[in-house]
Amino acid sequence: MRILVRLAQAIAGLVVGLALAEGAFWWRDDGAFPHVAVYVPDAALGARLQPHARQRIAFGGNPTTTFTTNDRGYRGADWPPPSPDTVLVVGDSQVFGLGVEDDQTLAARLAERLGRPVLNGGVPTYGPDEYLDVVGEIAAERPLRTVVLVLNFGNDLFEIGRPNRERHAIWDGWAVRAETAPASTTWFPGRAWLYGRSHAFFALRKLLHTPRPEEDAGFASEGTVQDVVRTSADRAGAHARAEERVGRERDAAADAYEAALGTLGDTTTLVAVYDEVMDAVGSDEALYLRAAVEGASVGDIVGVRYAESSRRVTVTAEILEEGARIRRDLRQRMRRLAAETDETWLRDLLVRTLAKTESSLDPALARETLAVAPLPTPFDGVLDRFAALAATHGFEPVVVALPLDVMVLPSQLAKYGEAPADLSGTHVLLDELAEAARARRMRVAAPLPALREAGDPAFLKADLHLSALGQDTVAAVVADAIRGPAPLPLPGPGLPEGRSRIPWTPEWAAAREIDVRRSTANRCQTRQIREWYRMDCWGGDVRGIGIVDAPPEAFAAYDGHRALLLTPVLPGRPVEVDVHWADRTERFAIRWTGDRPTFAFTGRTGPAAPPDGRILAGVQPDILAQDGTLLLYEPRWLGAGAGCADVDCAMGTRKSFPTCGEGQANAGSAGHCFALCADDVPCDAGQCTPWLGSAVCL
């Protein structure tokens, strides 16, 4: 009996001691763990969150916060009854709101700003595939008016095509990297509490764990720079198929080869240059994975550096920076090779991959015109699936391009022990995503400028997640995107029927002069190619030229030696231009009688007059040829303000169109940037003109 009493006392003492130890560690930890510990496995999504869970969380020296989950396992209170005005926000831990309270998340702040029900569908560990699975699941159950897809550049680029069930495993309520998960566990009474709730046991595991320095580089499931550079989810497969088909068909008959090329598709990997570019990637070992994990590791669980166990943020930033550089290089190589190659099969492949071939110029000159489409992005498949879900369920899609903290502010690198560095080169990745989303008529929220203005307090300390200020900043940008006008349709490629690109210099040189009344007397040369009319008037007494009435694409210029008019001649559309000499001004007109135009100087309209705003005076030396005459196709003349950096861009021929900003599109004969318009979106300048399924301010 005495032995039993002593045993009972020992057990009681042990229990009390363990309870005191647990209480001490709970108090030390403020009742918080550094990671979410309420996951349950899910066969489709890899993980879900326990319904009606509550957990305190703290990491990186940030204040302790508490999150709760509802009856569905999503963050916050139970969702309200279905409403046709509902907004759903999907994403990963940024949308979930790690490090902020329930009422400080993006969804909560967005609900306050919009006055509409907003559902938080964000779950840590999820990637783009899971986001869209959540959208499909919830849209099938309740009406949704708007769905906000938040694409996080901290990891989403690397998770496309890598399902969460392959990236993570659930280990006693924790989500751990698949590479570090144990093959099996042994169940015993109290294991769930001991491994998932005990702060004392957590401290013991942390004490026994020795971090491996190579884990900073990441694991295979976290992706590499190839994920940033790829142009489709099936990059390797597309490359192999394209290479095989081109090799088989390049020497075939023209019609068979054309048919084969037509089936390759715009997202086909570029056979000619892709390998060359990717070889450069392999030269930098730092951009690939260095982790070599053997057996199970509790590092994912006990590590306290980040809220989500992952490689160092600086490694991800390095990968994004190098990936952006490679994508820029890839685009330049494609366009340069398309312009320079003498191999027809290769040029055709590049042209079809970059854009569409257009035969609007004189076929005898064999000068292809490119209506350049955006370079395919890694997100294209995600956006296409998002668009399909929107069409099926009738909601309006909104895309948020959420930058990594160090992409926003160079000063953010300091919290990771790195010197500030300019990562603005990575912004091209954000721009490409926004451009691809707008091309699919999706609303786009780009919070980078607003986050930069909010400054360092927009992010948590020693962690990439948004602070309460950052969550509210992004909510404001998303609310503006939702409340703003719906995206306008973009024009299709090519040109409307009956239109062609501006003829280039050799074409004009070969063109015969046409008969125009009083042109010889006025020392003017007049030529027409297709619908394009050009008039050059020269001599020491020429003083200027100004458009009175003409199509919006008409161009007039004076270089101190010569007056020039370039205009399309469109059915029924008159043209009137005043040419100024030292002693007179004469009106030149193109007028229509039935379906035939007449060209003539119609007589004096007054004395010499000063140039109007359409005349470029005081030209700079590099616009003039060696003999002092005007170089018509210099970008400063024809492409001024169009964003063109070369003559061909200014002309809209051969190489590429300029990249247009939000609310603009390539249109007009030269493919310059014009504002999109509609009946309820008037033009600030120009006239709203139908253009290939859209309308632009010409």
| pLDDT single digits (tens) 362-385 | 333 223 333 334 456 889 889 999
- Higher-scoring residue by pLDDT: 358, 397: 397
What number is the average pLDDT over the span 470-498?
89
Q: What is the pLDDT of residues 258-277, one digit of tens each?
A: 333 333 333 333 333 444 44
What number is the average pLDDT over the span 126-154?
96
Name the amino acid, one letter, at 18.
L
- pLDDT class for 524, splitting at 50, 70, 90? very high
What number is the average pLDDT over the span 551-565?
80
What number is the average pLDDT over the span 174-180?
84
Q: What is the pLDDT of residues 277-300, one digit of tens each?
A: 444 444 444 444 444 444 566 767
Contact residues for 209 (Cβ-Cβ < 8 A; gap 6+)? 297, 298, 299, 302
Least confident of 152-156, 391-395, 450-454, 475-479: 152-156
The answer, yes or no, to whether residue 214 has pLDDT greater than 60, is: no
Give the percent of the chain with pLDDT over 90: 36
Q: What is the DSSP letter of 456?
A: G
The answer, yes or no, to whether residue 387 has pLDDT greater than 60, is: yes
As given in the structure block, the two tokens for residue 288 are: 């690939």
Mean pLDDT estimate for the chain: 77
Query: Is residue 397 within 8 Å of residue 444, measured between CB atoms?
Result: no
- Which of 7-21, 210-224, 227-241 is modeled with the greatest confidence? 7-21
Least confident of 254-268, 587-601, 652-666: 254-268
> Distance between CA 687 and CA 392 in Å, rounded?
36
Note the helical H segments in 371-426. Answer: 380-393, 405-408
pLDDT of 528: 93
Question: Hey, is 323 helix, strand or coil?
Answer: helix
Q: What is the pLDDT of residues 311-347, one digit of tens each?
A: 777 777 777 777 777 766 666 666 666 566 665 555 5
What number is the average pLDDT over the span 566-595?
91
Q: What is the DSSP letter of 513?
A: B
- pLDDT class for 247, splitting at 50, 70, 90? very low
- Higher-scoring residue by pLDDT: 259, 389: 389
- Higher-scoring residue by pLDDT: 524, 552: 524
CA 81 to chain centre: 35
pLDDT of 547: 85
Distances (CA, A) of 245 to 231, 263, 296, 353: 18, 10, 45, 14
pLDDT of 17: 66
H or E element, residue 67: strand 65-68
Name the amino acid, one letter, at 93.
S
- pLDDT class for 511, splitting at 50, 70, 90? confident
Give the percent of the chain with pLDDT over 70: 68
> Distance between CA 55 and CA 99 in Å, rounded?
12
The answer, yes or no, to whether residue 86 has pLDDT greater than 90, is: yes
- Which of 324-333, 491-500, 572-581 is modeled with the greatest confidence? 572-581
pLDDT of 505: 67
> Distance between CA 541 and CA 584 in Å, rounded?
10
> Distance between CA 77 and CA 68 in Å, rounded?
7
- Higher-scoring residue by pLDDT: 76, 689: 76
pLDDT of 256: 35
For residue 342, is it left (φ>0), alpha (ψ between -120 and 50) or beta? Answer: alpha
Query: Is residue 281 within 8 Å of residue 229, measured between CB atoms?
Result: yes
What number is the average pLDDT over the span 418-444?
88
The answer, yes or no, to whether residue 1 has pLDDT greater than 80, is: no
Q: How many CB atoms lie within 10 A of CB 555?
A: 19
- pLDDT class for 232, splitting at 50, 70, 90? very low
Least confident of 75-84, 164-173, 370-379: 370-379
Q: What is the pLDDT of residues 3-61, one digit of tens each?
A: 766 666 666 666 676 678 788 888 988 999 999 999 999 999 999 999 999 999 999 89
pLDDT of 154: 87
Least confident of 65-79, 454-468, 613-627: 613-627
- Higher-scoring residue by pLDDT: 414, 645: 414
Query: Is residue 290 within 8 Å of residue 312, measured between CB atoms?
Result: no
Residue identified by tokens 């970059």 is 354
What number is the average pLDDT over the span 451-466?
95
> Distance between CA 104 and CA 471 in Å, rounded?
7
Q: What are phi and psi of 521, to 5 degrees?
A: -60, -30
- Considering the entire predicted model, what is its pTM? 0.71
The answer, yes or no, to whether residue 617 has pLDDT greater than 60, is: no
Q: What is the pLDDT of residues 87-126, one digit of tens each?
A: 999 999 999 999 999 999 999 999 999 999 999 999 999 9
pLDDT of 39: 96
